[in-house]
Structures are given as structure tokens and as C-alpha cells.
Amino acid sequence: MQQTLSIIKPDAVKKGVIGKILDRFESNGLRIAAMKKIQLSTEDAKAFYAVHKDRPFYGELVEFMTSGPVVVSILEGENAVAKNRELMGATNPKEAAPGTIRADFADSIDANAVHGSDSLENATIEIAFFFSNREIL
Ligand code: ATP
Ligand code: MG
């Protein structure tokens, strides 16, 4: 059993597809162990994406992630980290496999609908960034 962190990004929240995206997780064996809708501050977004701070798109990424509310959740299940990445599809929706969340709901490499932890180690760090133990059920 693994846990991974998912973020439904501002573009998908604005489109009104929170429920459709959560259904992808629940229909594919990922249980929602924690969830909240929040507005990230610039400081939050900078800290969360600090691994990308030297990349040319860092400023745009921070701006985009703070452009509206997001839905943060912990997904739990067998191979949850890889399973979630598989359901999400490639970073660039134009390259995402048909039937993936990004192929179906994302518009561009910036506005790409969802975030998912890319390793078990990062999942632990990202979960602790957003949730306290009493919020995980
Ligand atoms: P995420 O971390 O959001 O789950 P990812 O792991 O598929 O996405 P990363 O390489 O970690 O992709 O990049 C983080 C985010 O930065 C991407 O989701 C995307 O929104 C943005 N990004 C990545 N590459 C580019 C790029 N070349 N141009 C613009 N934005 C980019
Ligand atoms: Mg990533």
C-alpha cells in the first residue's frame, strides 16, 4: 500500500471537473485518504515547486498554481504513485495517452489539470507539506 499526493490544478477547478477527475482515481483503485480545496499563496507554490526553481518556467508555474483554488488530496492504494502518474498522462497534454486525465481535461503544458508525486520519497515530502496526521483518514 502506498500514498501519493494529487493536486487538481486551477485550470481544472475553474472548468468544473473536480468530480470527474476524482472519479478517475476512485474508479481505478485509488482511495481518497484526505482532501481539501485551498488557495496557494506565492510562498506555498514557490516552496512546493522548489525543485524547479532554476528552470525557465518556474515563474510561470508559480503564477499559474496561485491563479485560483486547487484541490489537494492523498490517494492511497497498491502502487499509488505509479498508478496516479499513469492515470494523469504525460506532462504535455498533446503527448498524453488517450483516456488519461491530461488528454481529456488539460489544455497546455502549463495548464495541465493535475499534479502527482513522481516518487514514493517525494510523495512523503509532499503529503507532509499539505496535511497533518489528523487530516488523513
Ligand atoms: P507535476 O509535477 O505538476 O505533476 P510533471 O511531474 O508531469 O508535473 P514536471 O517536470 O514536474 O512535470 O513539471 C512541473 C510542472 O511544470 C508541469 O506540470 C508543468 O505545469 C510545468 N512545466 C514543465 N515543463 C514545462 C515547460 N517546458 N514549459 C512550461 N511549463 C512546464
Ligand atoms: Mg513533477
Q: What is the pLDDT of residues 65-106, one digit of tens each?
A: 999 999 999 999 999 999 999 999 999 999 999 999 999 999
User: Within a 10 A sphere around the Cβ of 68, how many other Cβ atoms?
Assistant: 14
**The model's pTM:** 0.97
Q: CATH number for the domain including 11?
A: 3.30.70.141
Q: Is residue 14 part of a domain?
A: yes
**Cα gap 84→33, rounded to integer Å:** 14
Give how many domains the chain has, as a whole number.
1
Domain extent for 25: 2-130
Of the candidates 30, 40, 115, 127, the residue annotated as catalytic is 115
Q: Is residue 137 part of a domain?
A: no
Q: Is residue 54 part of a domain?
A: yes
Q: Is residue 136 part of a domain?
A: no
Catalytic residue list contains 52: no
- Tell me: is residue 134 an annotated ligand-binding position: no
**Cα gap 63→113, rounded to integer Å:** 15
Q: Is residue 135 part of a domain?
A: no
E-strand stretches of the chain:
2-8, 31-38, 70-77, 114-116
Q: What is the dihedral of CA 5, 127, 29, 17, to 10 degrees?
A: -40
- Tell me: is residue 112 an annotated ligand-binding position: yes
Residue pair 13/70 in contact (Cβ under 8 Å)? The answer is yes
Q: Is residue 116 part of a domain?
A: yes
Q: Is residue 109 part of a domain?
A: yes
Q: What is the pLDDT of residues 110-128, one digit of tens each?
A: 999 999 999 999 999 999 9
Residue type, 72: V
